[in-house]
Structure 1
Amino acid sequence: MNNIEAFERAASVLVGGVDSPVRAWKGVGGTPLSFVGGRGAYLEDVEGKGYVDYVGSWGPLIVGHSHPQVVRAICERAQRGISFGAPSPLETKLAETIRRTFPSMEKIRFVTSGTEATMTALRLARGATGRSLVVKFAGCYHGHHDGMLVSSGSGSLTLGQPDSAGVLQEVARCTAVVPYNDREAVKALFNARGQDIAAVIVEPWAGNMGLVPPLPGFLEELRNLTAGHGALLIFDEVITGFRTSEGGVQQKKGIRPDLTCLGKIIGGGLPVGAVGGRAEVMDHLAPLGPVYQAGTLAGNPLAMAAGLATLEVLASPGVREKLEDQSAFFAEGLAEAARSCNLPLSVTRLGSVLGLFFSSSVPRNLDEVRATEGNLYPLFFHAMVRRGHLFAPSPFEATFVSLAHDRSVLESTLGAALEVFSELAERRQ
C-alpha cells in the first residue's frame, strides 16, 4: 500500500480521511502521509520511507518516539490494568510532580485533552466569579469547544463572531476577542466591561500562529488588569509547558496565573490534559463545589505512567541543558541558512519549540503573521518532505525539537534546508 492508497481508503470511512483537520494537509496541499512507526527522531510511512520528524505528535514527544523508558512504563502498567475508573496512586504522583514544577497549580484536575482542560478552566472561572464574559486573543487556539471557536468582530471592543457552523451566536457573545500583544485594546475592554469579565485566557507564547512571543510588559499587564478587576488569568501552557524552563513561561516571566492548562508532554504521547490553580478557585469543582466536570478515562493509569516516565527522563542530569543546546543550534542554523540565501526568515524559539516565519521581522499578532510570505511555506514543506524531513503541514503551527534530535540529525536537516532555501530564493527573484 502506498500513501495515496492509504488516504483514499481512509477517506471512505473517516471524515476527510482524518480524525483532526490539520492532518489533511489543506494548509500545504497534496496527499497526507500515513505512518506506521516511529523511533527516536524518525517516523516511518506505509511505504517504508523514513522522515526526520519535527511535528512530534504536535508536541508531546519531547523525548522522542518510543523512548525505552516511556515504553517500558506503559507496558508494565498495562500488565497490571489498563483502566480503573477509580482513584489510583499514579494520579497523585503525577499531580505532585507537576505541582513541584508549577507551584501556581496548588490543586489539579486531570482530563483527557488540552481542549477539555481549557473548557474546564473557563467553566470554572465563570462559576467561581459569577461572571459570563471571557477574553481571548486572535490567533491563540484553546481547543474546539464552542466558546473558543470565535473570531474577532469589527473592533477591539466587539464581541466574538461564530467561527464554525454549529456555534450559536448566543455562545459567541460570551467571548471577546482582541489582538495578541495589544495592551491598549485589553485595557479599553476592561474599562468598558471589567465588571463582566470572568477570565482572560492566553497562550503566553502564541504557539498556534507559528510561535509569536509576547511583547515586553504584555503578560504583566494581563496579570495587573485581571487582578485589579477581580477576573482570573488563565495561562494555556498546553504547548509551552515543560518546553522551556521546567515551570513553563510563568516561571520564566515570574508571573503567577490563577489557573494553568497543561497537556501534551504530561501524557508522554498518550491523551492527557490538566487544569490547576489556586486552591480556593479549584475547590469550586465538583465534588467540592457547584461547577460540574467529570471524565470516565480521566487519570487513566497508562497515561499517568507515560507522563511520569517522560518527566523523569527530562529531570535526568544534563538533559534540559542538552535539549536547550540542540534547539538553539537548530534555530540559529535555520536562520543562518536562510540568510546565506538572502531569503527572509525569522525564527522564534522558546526552549525546544520554534516558529518559522518567511518575513524579515518577527510578527507580533495574527494580522502580521498573515502578512508574511506564507505562500513560501507549502513550497518549503514539500521540498523538505521529498528530502526526508517532516515539518508541520501548516504555516501556523510550531516546530518541535526532541531529545532524540542529536547534532548529526539536526545537521542533516540544516543541509537539506539550505538546498531548499536556495531554491526558494531563486523563485522569489
Structure 2
Amino acid sequence: MSRSEQLFERAVTCIPGGVNSPVRAFRSVGLNPKFISRADGAYIYDVDGNRYTDYVGSWGPMILGHNNQEVREAVIRAAENGLSFGAATEAEVEMAELICSLVPSIEMVRMVNSGTEAVMSAIRAARGYTGRDKIIKFEGCYHGHSDALLVKAGSGVMTAGVPDSAGVTAGCTKDTLSAVFNDLESVENLFRENDGKIAALIIEPVAANMGVIEPEEGFLQKLRELCTDNGTVLIFDEVITGFRLQTDGAQGYYGIRPDLTTFGKIIGGGMPVGAYGGKREIMECVSPVGNVYQAGTLSGNPMAMAAGLAELRILRDNPSIYGHINSLGDLLRRSLRDLFEKYGKNYQVTGTGSLCCVFFTGTRVTGYGTAKTSDTEEFSRYFRYMIEHGIYLAPSQFEAVFLSNAHTKEDIAEMLNVVEGYLKEAATRP
C-alpha cells in the first residue's frame, strides 16, 4: 500500500471524507487523493516520490510557480519578526496602497482571510450602502460557502451533484435571486420583478467554477448599465481572475469598472488571504468608519502580507509574465482543439488567458446548463489516465486548468502527448 493510501486511511477516521476541502477529494473520479509533500516550479511531488506536472497551482495562487524564491524569502523575513500581532502593521498599508495603485476601481480596500469572507463582507457592505436586501448571483458561479450564496453554486458543489447545501435555511437564501450566465434577459427580468429592491449583483467576470466560461460580447457591459440604472452595486468576484489575466484583472481585460471587487488567492502568494474593495463611498460604510460591521483577528496578518506583496510586486514589475502565461494558454487551447478534431471528438475547449477547461460534450458551453451536459464519466477516465502519466489536474470536470510562469512550451508538449495517448486508448474501447 502506498503512503498516500496509508495517510488517507488515517485521515478518514478524523477528518470528514479525509480532506479539509471537498474539492481535494478524488471520490468523483474513483480514486483516493494523492498526499503532496513538496512542490517546486511547475511540479509537485507526492509522499511516494512521484512527480507530476501541476495544472492546479493551489487552485490559482501559484501564478509564479511553486516555491518562488522571492516570495519564500519574504515570508521567512516576516516570520523572523513574529507570526501575528493582532495589531496594525506597515505591510497592511503597503498592500492596500499597492492594490489601489494597480486596480483603478479600488479606492479603498479591506483585507480579510479568505475569498468566502471577502464576498460575504462585500455583499454586506452593498446592502448597508443601498439599504436594500436582495442580491443577484448567476447559476454555476461559486462565491464561497457562505449560506446566502450556496444557491446553484459551482465548484465542488457541481461535482457532488448537489445544487444547494444541507444546513442552509430558506431564510438565508430568500433574498438571493439566480440569473443565467450570458443570458441578459434573465437578468433584466429579475430587475423588473424586483424593482428598487436589489442591493447587489455579483458575478465572476470569467466563470471559473463551472469549468471556464467567458462572458459573451457585451454581456458584462450590459450588466454595468443595468446596475447603474437601478442603483445596484456591481460586484466582480475576482478571487480567481484578480491579477491573473493582467494586473488589473478581468475588469481591466474587459474594460468594465465594478463598484466593488473581491480578491483572494494570488494576493496572498499561497498564504490564506482575501480582500474586498472599491468605491470610497461604499467602503466608508464599513466599521469603524460606518455601521457595516466586519472584523477578523488574523486579517492582514504579516505572513500573508509579506507573501502577497512579494508576488504582486513581481507581477507589476514583470509584465512579460502575462505575455508568457497567456500565450501558453492560447497554445494549449488551440492544440487541444486540433487534437480532438484529429480524433473525431467534438469536445469543447474553453478559457482565456492562462485559464483552460475541456468539456466532454459536443454542446457549446455558455453557462451552467450547458456545462452540465459534459460527460463526467468520460472526464473521470481522462483524469485517471492523466494522473497515471504524471499530469496533475483538478479532480473535477468543473474546475480550471491553471498555468503558471514556471510552465514551459515543453510542459505543454508533454501534456499534449499524454492527451493524445488517452485519445488513442479511448479509440480502442468498445
SS in 2 for 1:223: helix
SS in 2 for 1:62: coil
Cα shift readout 1:305-339 (whole Å, capped 9, x = no counterpart): 11111122223442222222222222222222222
| Range with bigger deviation, 91-100 or 324-333 | 324-333
Cα shift readout 1:190-239 (whole Å, capped 9, x = no counterpart): 11102110000000111000011111221112111111111100000101
SS in 2 for 1:274: strand
CA distance in structure 1 between the aligned counterparts of 2:287 and 2:317, rounded to whole angstroms: 36
| Range with bigger deviation, 214-223 or 397-406 | 214-223
Question: What is residue 121 of structure 2 aligned with on the other side?
Answer: 120
Question: What is residue 386 of structure 1 aligned with on the other side?
Answer: 388
1:29-68 → structure 2 map (5 Å cutoff):
29-68=30-69
Kindly indicate whether residue 222 of structure 2 is the aligned counterpart of residue 224 of structure 1.
no
Question: What is residue 202 of structure 2 aligned with on the other side?
Answer: 201
Cα shift readout 1:340-385 (whole Å, capped 9, x = no counterpart): 2222222222211112212345311111011123321111100000
Deviation at 1:426, TM superposition (A): 4.0
Q: 1:99 to 1:201 in 2, by over 3 A?
A: same
Question: What is residue 159 of structure 2 aligned with on the other side?
Answer: none
Question: What is residue 165 of structure 1 aligned with on the other side?
Answer: 166
Q: Would the aligned equivalents of 1:243 and 1:350 in 2 still touch at CA under 8 Å?
A: no
Q: 1:162 to 1:28 in 2, by over 3 A?
A: closer
Q: Counterpart amino acid of 1:410?
A: I
| Range with bigger deviation, 376-385 or 87-96 | 87-96
CA distance in structure 1 between the aligned counterparts of 2:99 and 2:424, rounded to whole angstroms: 44
SS in 2 for 1:98: helix
1:277-316 → structure 2 map (5 Å cutoff):
277-316=278-317
Deviation at 1:131, TM superposition (A): 0.6
Normalization by structure 2: what TM-score?
Answer: 0.95
Question: What is residue 398 of structure 1 aligned with on the other side?
Answer: 400
1:23-422 → structure 2 map (5 Å cutoff):
23-151=24-152, 163-317=164-318, 318-422=320-424
CA distance in structure 1 between the aligned counterparts of 2:338 and 2:78, rounded to whole angstroms: 45
Q: Counterpart amino acid of 1:301?
A: P
Q: Would the aligned equivalents of 1:212 and 1:362 in 2 still touch at CA under 8 Å?
A: no
CA distance in structure 2 between the aligned counterparts of 1:148 and 1:334, rounded to whole angstroms: 34
Q: Would the aligned equivalents of 1:56 and 1:400 in 2 still touch at CA under 8 Å?
A: yes
SS in 2 for 1:150: coil
CA distance in structure 2 between the aligned counterparts of 1:60 and 1:264, rounded to whole angstroms: 4
Q: Would the aligned equivalents of 1:27 and 1:395 in 2 still touch at CA under 8 Å?
A: no
CA distance in structure 2 between the aligned counterparts of 1:362 and 1:69, rounded to whole angstroms: 42
Cα shift readout 1:375-399 (whole Å, capped 9, x = no counterpart): 2111110000000111110000011
Q: 1:362 to 1:308 in 2, by over 3 A?
A: farther
Deviation at 1:14, TM superposition (A): 0.8
Q: Deviating runs (4+, > 6 A) in structure 1? A: none
CA distance in structure 1 between the aligned counterparts of 2:135 and 2:285, rounded to whole angstroms: 18
Unaligned 5+ residue runs, structure 2? 154-161
CA distance in structure 2 between the aligned counterparts of 1:148 and 1:172, rounded to whole angstroms: 7
The two structures, once aligned, show a CA RMSD in angstroms of: 1.5
CA distance in structure 2 between the aligned counterparts of 1:61 and 1:279, rounded to whole angstroms: 30
SS in 2 for 1:287: coil
Deviation at 1:61, TM superposition (A): 0.5
Deviation at 1:52, TM superposition (A): 0.6
CA distance in structure 1 between the aligned counterparts of 2:182 and 2:122, rounded to whole angstroms: 22
| Range with bigger deviation, 356-365 or 141-150 | 356-365
Cα shift readout 1:234-262 (whole Å, capped 9, x = no counterpart): 00010111111221111122111110001
| Range with bigger deviation, 396-405 or 332-341 | 332-341
Q: Would the aligned equivalents of 1:376 and 1:424 in 2 still touch at CA under 8 Å?
A: no
Count the aligned residue pairs: 420
Question: What is residue 158 of structure 2 aligned with on the other side?
Answer: none
Q: 1:424 to 1:313 in 2, by over 3 A?
A: farther
Q: 1:61 to 1:14 in 2, by over 3 A?
A: same
Normalization by structure 1: what TM-score?
Answer: 0.95
CA distance in structure 2 between the aligned counterparts of 1:83 and 1:103, rounded to whole angstroms: 30
* Identity rate, percent: 44
Question: What is residue 156 of structure 1 aligned with on the other side?
Answer: none
Deviation at 1:423, TM superposition (A): 2.2
CA distance in structure 1 between the aligned counterparts of 2:111 and 2:369, rounded to whole angstroms: 35
Unaligned 5+ residue runs, structure 1? 153-160
